[in-house]
Amino acid sequence: MTSASTAAHEPAAAPDNPTTSSSQIRTIVASSVVGTTVEWFDFFAYSTAAALILNALFFPDYDPLVGTILAFGGIAVGYFGRPLGSIVFGHFGDRIGRKRMLVLSLVVMGVATFLIGLLPTYTAIGVAAPILLMVLRFVQGFALGGEWGGAVLLVVEHAEPRRRAFLGSFPQVGLALGLTLSTLVFLPLVALPGDAFATWGWRVPFLISAVLVLVGLFIRLKITETPEFERMREAGRAARVPLWETLRTHPAQVILAALSFAVIGAVFYMLFTFSLTYGTQFVGHTQPEMLTIATVCSVLALVGLPVAGRLADRFGVTRVFATGTVVSIVLAFPAFLLIDTGSLAAAYVAYIATTVGFCATYGTLGVLYAQAFDVRIRYTGMSLALGIGTIAGSAFVPIIYLELLDVFGGSWAVALYMVAAGLVTLVSVTLLHRITRRAAARDAATSTPSASAPTEGTAR
């Protein structure tokens, strides 16, 4: 075998690394969590503002529903930036290191978010306002495309095998923390008297992100490169063109990993973005009530995501991920039946129950992806799969949900979409698991067990 093929499908991280102390691991985990928290805070600040106010400020010539759809279109634009970001950051992350790209992605995201907070609105500069907004959204997506894969690898490639899924879940916790901080910031702002929120209040979350970026950079600059990447680079096995090698050697893994994301995108937007619009405009709850529900669910995820990782170390990543997918499928219709009663208590039950399935899938996604790709192209493979997956399974979901409501007039159509997305994920993750197992077994036959055999937690 060539050096590329003999290295293929190494486990998601190197064997226990005695040089990585417990204190170093804690710093590495903290840097990943803080970094992803900042990235997702910036990303969700836009999503929340789009559901609450951006339609009136940047698309005032349209009726409220169309304006909201156009504002949500900025979410789609952000996702279109992710594949490009995954290619650029993945290329250099696989060639010169994970750490440098993580620092750069954080800076780019922070600058774009801060500039959104300074943007003049449509009444000030006309059509240039929504155009600039979309450009900055694209830049945000570009940065996010390089953040997630590197943050996961930073932890996973340092972690010992028995704790790989648990520690690998912490970069996902950044999503919940970012969402929690974003909604907590918006809660007092939407309660401002008069037109204060529309005039200046909506800008606050974007502007204060600069402080979070500085904190993230301070921690992230202290971390070290992953030992697995260093060994690969010292051995002269770095891929010359990681994107080409990814597409040449792992095309099925990229496609199946991307499709596996479908249920996560469908459930996430039902919980945290579409819910704000649906709860206020279609069910009749107030904005603070819906923001509080979103905050409760995100706080629950702070616990649920690491729990999913811990279970994955014990029972296997694929099993936990698939179980979460089944839970999401089964709960889709009952959840909307509860929400549509108009009872706030029933809405809490529906959203909290749905969060359980979300945690099981998103909490194990990082290691699910990492174990599918060779270390030589892992940053590129993971980021590209997620970038494609989020375009296919997330970018247009809020718009699709609003269109389904407009066309069919009932939430059953949204629930049906969630079920369909769950079935796509279930089939894809099953096939991905088979391919990964087969490749790992093949490479184990031509390499030493310690270097190629999948670990107990991630192999199942």
The pLDDT of residue 453 is 37
Count CB atoms within 10 A of the CB of residue 237: 16
- Per-residue pLDDT, averaged over 116-120, amounts to 91
pLDDT band, very low/low/confident/very high, at 48 (cuts 50, 70, 90): confident
Cα–Cα dist 210/38, whole Å: 9
The pLDDT of residue 63 is 55
Cα–Cα dist 278/372, whole Å: 37
For the segment 324-354, what is each residue's pLDDT rounded down to a tens digit?
A: 999 999 999 999 999 999 999 999 999 999 9
The one-letter amino acid code at 12 reads A
- Return the closest-CA partner of residue 175 out of 366, 322, 331: 366
- Return the closest-CA partner of residue 404 out of 268, 222, 309, 278: 278
Cα–Cα dist 398/270, whole Å: 8
The number of CA neighbours under 13 Å toward the Cβ of 160 is 12
The pLDDT of residue 414 is 95
CA distances from 282 to 343, 372, 410, 433, 457 (A): 13, 42, 10, 40, 44
The pLDDT of residue 133 is 86
Cα–Cα dist 395/164, whole Å: 29
- Per-residue pLDDT, averaged over 387-410, amounts to 87
pLDDT band, very low/low/confident/very high, at 61 (cuts 50, 70, 90): low
Lowest average pLDDT, out of 72-86, 92-106, 150-164, 420-434, goes to 72-86
276 burial (CB, 10 Å; 0-12 / 13-18 / 19+) is: buried
Residue ranges per structural domain of the chain: 9-459
- Strand residues in 162-208 grouped as ranges (E): none
Lowest average pLDDT, out of 65-69, 389-393, 401-405, goes to 65-69
**Residue 109 scores a pLDDT above 80:** yes
Query: Three-state SS string across 309-358, please?
Result: HHHHHHHCHHHHHHHHHHHHHHHHHHHHHHHCCCCHHHHHHHHHHHHHHH
Task: Give the highest mean pLDDT range of 142-146, 303-307, 437-441.
Answer: 303-307
Cα–Cα dist 435/365, whole Å: 17
pLDDT over 70, % of the chain: 88
Which of the pair, 174 or 309, is modelled with greater confidence?
309
- Non-local (6+) Cβ contacts of 236 within 8 A are none
Which of the pair, 342 or 209, is modelled with greater confidence?
342
Question: H or E element: which one contains 213?
Answer: helix 204-220
Cα–Cα dist 354/108, whole Å: 33
The one-letter amino acid code at 4 reads A
Q: What topology does CATH give the domain 9-459?
A: Growth Hormone; Chain: A; (1.20.1250)
pLDDT over 90, % of the chain: 35
The pLDDT of residue 68 is 66
Lowest average pLDDT, out of 19-23, 120-124, 179-183, goes to 19-23
**Residue 446 scores a pLDDT above 50:** yes
∠ CA(156), CA(182), CA(389), 5° rounding? 50
- Per-residue pLDDT, averaged over 5-26, amounts to 52
- Return the closest-CA partner of residue 389 out of 268, 259, 270: 259
Q: Which two tokens stand for residue 49?
A: 């503002």
Cα–Cα dist 284/85, whole Å: 39
Cα–Cα dist 452/130, whole Å: 50
The pLDDT of residue 320 is 97
The pLDDT of residue 8 is 38
Averaged confidence pLDDT in the chain: 84
The pLDDT of residue 4 is 38
Cα–Cα dist 433/387, whole Å: 20
**Residue 454 scores a pLDDT above 50:** no
